[in-house]
Amino acid sequence: MRMHRRWQLIFLLFIAAAFAVPAVAQQPAEPQSAAPATPPKPKPKPKPKPAAEAEKPAPAKPPAAAGAQPKLLGQYADWGAYTASPGGKKICFAIAKPTSEETNPPNRPRNPIYMFISTRPADKVTNEVSIIIGYPFKPGSEASAQIGTTTFALYTQQDGAWIKNAPEEAQMVDAMKAGDAVIVKGESAKGTQTTDKYDLKGVSQALDRVAQECK
């Protein structure tokens, strides 16, 4: 397991806070193992989106949290470069939403899905890959990220996923910079199989901008 898991989970909440549209079909009906960190929010019924909008989602935008309003450094195709200072610690990250999402069984609702690559100078962390999958993962399960012919194993916790083997993280980022797409697969706590595709156009430029801001 990675050393900064607690910080990672906090950062996942930081990114996901403004997009808490419940995915009812994926959530356990009566969770009893742990109380939620914050009071439950209303569960509005998601409105259907036009087909054209579904095919080309709007660029990902992170929320404000703990008084740390993220600042857009630049938008590069589907990838946005941002900086923020939650808890007084400066972070920089590139973030994108998938260009396509599939579930098996089909049409299972999910919360918003994101991939982001963060740099945290205070923690001496550079280009850490994280994924918000949009549902609670099956406990003890692994996810995967495929770029070309190379597949990277991801460990999971709650609705987050990270590279399982730390030495492979730099390899994954290099593969993303050189690749066309990354395919992320996972399994929900209710057994739904998911496949998400992220377009990698612009990720290299976004990471260059992140590196300039958080040296």
Give the number of residues written for the chain: 215
Torsion of CA 10, 103, 57, 72, to 10 degrees: 10
Res 54: pLDDT:
43
Looking at domain 5-26+57-213, its CATH superfamily turns out to be: Invasion associated locus B (IalB) protein (2.60.40.1880)
Res 86: pLDDT:
81
User: How do the domains of the chain map onto residue ranges?
Assistant: 5-26+57-213
Record the pTM.
Answer: 0.73
Res 85: pLDDT:
87
The alpha-helical segments, DSSP class H, found in the chain are 5-16, 51-55, 169-178, 203-213
Tokens 């740390």 found at: 68
Distances (CA, A) of 178 to 119, 128, 148, 171, 181: 20, 17, 10, 11, 9
User: What is the pLDDT tens value at each position of the chain, 215 positions in all?
Assistant: 444 454 555 555 555 553 343 333 344 433 333 333 334 444 444 454 444 444 455 555 554 444 467 889 999 999 999 998 887 889 999 999 999 999 999 999 999 999 999 999 988 999 999 999 999 999 999 999 999 999 999 999 999 999 999 999 999 999 999 999 999 999 999 999 999 999 999 999 999 999 999 98
Torsion of CA 170, 175, 181, 185, to 10 degrees: -50
> Do the beta carbons of residue 91 and residue 208 sit within 8 Å?
no
**What does the alpha-carbon distance between residue 23 and residue 4 come to, in Å, rounded to a whole number?**
27
Residue 104, judged by CB atoms within 10 A of its CB (0-12, 13-18, 19+), counts as exposed
